[in-house]
Amino acid sequence: MKTKAVTLICALFSTSSALAASPNWDYIQGGYYIVNISDIDGLDPHGFGIGGAKSLGKNVFVRGSYSMTNDDIFDGDVDFDQGSAEVGYRYKMTGATDIYGTLAYQYAEISASGPSGNLTSDTDGFGANIGIRSMLTSKIDLEASAGFLRFDGDSEAIAMLAANYHFHPNVSVGLNFTNIADVGTLAALVRYSF
Q: What predicted TM-score, i.e. pTM, was given to this entire model?
A: 0.85
Question: Nearest-CA neighbor of 88 among 135, 130, 35?
Answer: 130
E runs forming strands in the chain: 27-37, 46-56, 60-73, 76-92, 97-114, 117-135, 140-151, 154-168, 171-180, 183-193
pLDDT given at position 15: 41
- Distance (Å, whole) CA 159 – CA 169: 28
- At 7, the pLDDT band (50, 70, 90 cuts) reads low
Residue 104 pLDDT exceeds 80: yes
Residue 3 pLDDT exceeds 80: no
Return the CATH class of domain 2-193. mainly beta
- Distance (Å, whole) CA 1 – CA 133: 36
Residues 31-48 have pLDDT tens digits of: 999 999 887 777 889 999
Question: Nearest-CA neighbor of 23 among 191, 159, 148?
Answer: 191
Any idea where the domains of the chain sit in the sequence? 2-193
Length of the chain: 194
More confident residue, 121 or 9: 121
Looking at the DSSP bridge assignments, the partners of residue 21 are: none
**Average pLDDT value for residue range 86-111:** 96
- Distance (Å, whole) CA 8 – CA 4: 6
